[in-house]
Amino acid sequence: MKKAGIILSLTLLVFLMSFSTCFAAGLQLEDSYPKNGSHNSMLENVVVKLYFNEDVSAAEVQDANKTAFEFTDAAGEKLPTKILYPSETKEIWVLVEQTLVSNTDYKLKISGDLKMANGDTLGKDQLVEFKTRNTSVDSSVNMGLMAVMMVGMIGYTSISAKRQLKKQEEEAVAEDKVKVNPYKVAKETGKSVEQVVAKTEKEKEKARAQAEKKNKGKVDTNSKEIIIADEPEKDNQRVTGPRPISVTGSTYKSGRKEKAEQERQRAAAKAAAGTTRPKNATGKSKNKKATKK
């Protein structure tokens, strides 16, 4: 029983000591952006955001806290800054009013005199150190990526063009294999021209089917045109020459033909009426004849 009481007393004492320590912690810097020790900070419009555990935005302490921040470069030279208080009461932003140098170390010093409205201070100086990013390396990486993309595009275009050309060559070879002169073949074999043409068309159709089967699945995704082989003409009949529509029994007359017929009628009527004006006579010659009379 005595042992249990001692254990309970020690537990209560430890709890009270930890509570008092937390209560007496006061103002503390919890985090920052860029983080302390980072190496990828931007060069322009740099803002160091500081996150505290207590309200640091009270108007009565803002003037006093203006001198609590010092931003310096690797040589220790102080850079101009502007202190900002965002809507979050536990944050302070330090805006650097100068473009930073690539691949260079910088340091923000927060004075231990930084205080909040109740008079508590930070207690000791805090440092936030970071390094700006190497822009020359960034440029090299970007150029390399662009070069890789260009090479890939050129290679893909070249492969697509070769596939399309190969397909066209195979189709042309298939057509050439069945290309014949029907009159010559008919003379050599004794068959009629119609029989030779029919056989040739059949062989062409077979060659096209084989080419399509061979190229099935080899679709050029880069091409926007679909090439369709010319179909053989069927049910065509030969005629000896143009024939008028009246041969079929039609009495229809087009406007052009009717107009031409009217013109011929007017010309015939004019010729029949005759003219009093001599051929090739001008106004002056007629006047001369009238004077002589």
Residues 174-182: contacts with CB under 8 Å, at least 24 apart: 174/207, 174/208, 174/210, 174/211, 175/204, 175/207, 177/207, 178/203, 178/204, 178/206, 178/207
- Among the listed ranges 40-44, 201-205, 272-276, which one has the minimum average pLDDT value? 272-276
Summary mean pLDDT of the chain: 77
pLDDT at position 24 over 50: no
Report the side by side order of strands in the sheet with 91-96.
29-33, 47-52, 91-96, 81-84
Banded pLDDT at 241 (limits 50, 70, 90)? low
pLDDT at position 135 over 50: yes
Topology of domain 21-133, per CATH?
Immunoglobulin-like (2.60.40)
What is the distance between the alpha carbons of residues 37 and 52, in angstroms, rounded to a whole number? 18
Tell me what percent of the residues of the chain surpass a pLDDT of 70: 64
Tell me what percent of the residues of the chain surpass a pLDDT of 90: 33
Banded pLDDT at 201 (limits 50, 70, 90)? confident
Task: Specify the pLDDT at position 47.
Answer: 96
Residues 193-201: contacts with CB under 8 Å, at least 24 apart: 201/232
Q: What is the mean pLDDT of residues 217-241?
A: 51
* Stated pTM of the model: 0.45
- Domains of the chain by residue range: 21-133, 141-214
Q: Where is 157: in which H helix or E strand?
A: helix 135-177
Banded pLDDT at 36 (limits 50, 70, 90)? very high
pLDDT at position 293 over 50: no
What is the distance between the alpha carbons of residues 182 and 188, in angstroms, rounded to a whole number? 10
pLDDT at position 288 over 70: no
